[in-house]
Structure 1
Amino acid sequence: MTYRWDGITRSESLSEWAATARHELADRARAYDWAAVFDLLGEPRYAEWANAARPGGRSWYAPLHQAAYGGAPVEVARRLIEVGAWRALRTADGERPVDIARRQGHHHLREPLEPPRLVDVPDDELRRVQEHFHGLICHRAGKLVDEHRLRLPELEVLLETPGGGSGFSVPGMYGGFSFTLAVEDGRARLTTESWSRVVGGSGQRHEITVGGVDLVAEGFV
């Protein structure tokens, strides 16, 4: 199973076929055409899009948010989760799927949509680590982040991810970031590697805690 943070917000950041397919996925999820949604996500080149929102959209609704809003059968919600949908992924308004289901009165979805916490990190500590991580991303790829208006990774989703790991591709960087969250000696630690495939020796590994960012290795890739 691939768990990858999708930061794309603009159609212009995608190839023509990818932008068309992303809009088709969003259309099928909004129409509650779950058979078509699973057909799309079952194709290898779309397999990482379980958490994708419509390019250019304002709501940041991924398929699981649409399932929560429409009161989809429990089996649909569980299958979306099985193919990689994050229960802790938030919309532009800060709502998780379980929040949407609760607001809409779809009580049958509250239990399956409640995000588990497989990594135990206090919310304020996670927020501070995330702030440091975003600062590192902007330091390494700030111009591309601004150009593509990327949505930066939100670490809350890692609390429900087996192994606490994910990846984040940056358009134009020809590379990106991989990152893993763990708890060591009772403190959160995010280990991240970043690289550009077209720049030899561009790789850097950092460790991030509430205290800041430490460069621990460089010169690989």
Structure 2
Amino acid sequence: MAKTEHTRWDGVTTRDVYHADIVARRDLLADAARDGDWPRVFDQLAENPDWVNATRMGGPSGFALLHQAAWHGAQDAAAALVGGGAWRTLPTATGERAADIALARGHKGMSGLLQPVVRHPLPAPALDALQDRLHALIRADSHGLADQHRLKLPALAVLTELTEPRMYFPVPGMYGGFRYELDGDSLVTESWSRVVGGSGRRHRITARSTELVAEGFV
């Protein structure tokens, strides 16, 4: 797998958002990772490299491919996934990272590989505050679509390991979405809908406030 850095947050959890063929292929990928069938996993990723951080659509665990590799103790597969852009800071539904899962399963030899390399450190309370404010903004500016589609909202910890700490979060039904980027200890966001003129809104989020700084630019 070529080394890439995928900066699109896929928050879709409801299976009716995508075409049935996409859902079926995502299920095949999730099944292969669950079963530890790594040749089949990498065959799927060769066709869809942007699925390297995908979880089972509608699945309750929130396990992505790297979490499954950690559970199985599959060090070579985990190394290939990390090389292909798998996020080591990505949490499961219960907040576990791949490194936590490997340790709990007794795969201590994977700890160095799975330990996140944090390029943009922020204290945990500050990161949590930014994330809470971002989630509130998404719920408000998506006009209920985030809740309607039961979207998995972004985990900001992922930004701290990216070389360029920015990400795009498309929202089904919005014909647009949100871009967000770490800027020091604050977060700059842009939201828009392509079918609504003047819908662009830019905010700066800090641990203490969410400020509208520009609007109408889309």
Q: TM-score, normalised by structure 1?
A: 0.92
Matches within 5 A, 1:70-81: 70-73=72-75, 75-81=76-82
The letter for the 1-side match of 2:53 is N
| CA deviation map 1:43-82 (0-9, x unaligned) | 2xx3322111111211110000000000102x32122112
Give me the whole-angstrom Cα distance separating, in 2, the residues matched to 1:197 and 1:40: 31
Q: Structure 1: which amino acid aligns with 2:213?
A: V
Which amino acid in 2 is paired with 1:24? L
d(CA) in 1 for partners of 2:71, 2:215:
45
Aligned: 1:30 with 2:31: no
Q: How far apart are 1:12 and its partner, in Å?
A: 1.8
Deviates more, 1:194-203 or 1:60-69: 194-203
Indicate the residue corresponding to 1:211 in structure 2: 208
8 Å Cα contact 1:50/1:84 also seen in 2:
yes
Rounded to whole Å, the distance in 1 between the matches of 2:84 and 2:214 is: 33
8 Å CA contact 1:3–1:84 kept in 2: the answer is: no
SS at match of 1:217: strand
| Cα displacement (A) at 1:178 | 1.1
Distance 2:84 2:191 in 1: 26
Query: 1:83-115 deviations in whole A, cap 9, x for unaligned?
Result: 221111111121100000000011121100001
**Deviations 1:19-61 (Å, cap 9, x if unpaired)?**
1111111011112122222222222xx3322111111211110
Contact 1:192 1:205 in 2 (8 A): yes
Deviation at 1:16, TM superposition (A): 1.3
RMSD after superposition: 1.3
Supply the distance in 1 between the matched residues of 2:187 and 2:109 (Cα, whole angstroms).
35
Residue aligning to 1:195: 192
Give the aligned length.
214
Alignment pair present for 1:151 and 2:148: no
Distance between the aligned counterparts of 1:189 and 1:55, measured in 2?
A: 31
Say whether 1:9 aligns with 2:13: yes
Q: Is the 8 A contact 1:3 1:48 kept in 2?
A: no
Report the CA distance between 1:18 and its aligned residue: 1.6
**Pairing partner for 1:65 from 64, 67, 72:** 67
Say if 2:19 is the partner of 1:19. Answer: no
Q: Could you say what secondary structure the match of 2:203 adopts? A: strand
Is the contact between residue 119 and residue 182 of structure 1 (CA under 8 Å) also seen in structure 2? no
1:173 and 1:196 in contact (8 A); partners too: yes
Q: Is the 1:101–1:109 Cα contact (8 Å) retained in structure 2?
A: yes
Overall identity of the aligned pairs, in %: 48
CA distance in 2, matches of 1:124, 1:91: 19
- Counterpart of 1:53? 55
Shift of 1:204: 1.3
Aligned twin of 1:138: 139
Structure 1 runs (4+) deviating above 4 angstroms are none
SS class of match (2:164): helix
Unaligned 5+ segments in structure 2 are none
Gaps of 5+ in 1: none
Rounded to whole Å, the distance in 2 between the matches of 1:201 and 1:36 is: 45
Which residue number corresponds to residue 172 of structure 2?
171
**TM-score normalised by L of structure 2:** 0.93
For residues 139-197 of structure 1, the C-alpha deviation after alignment (integer angstroms, 9 at most, x for no partner) is: 111421111101110111111111211111111111111111131xxxx1111111112
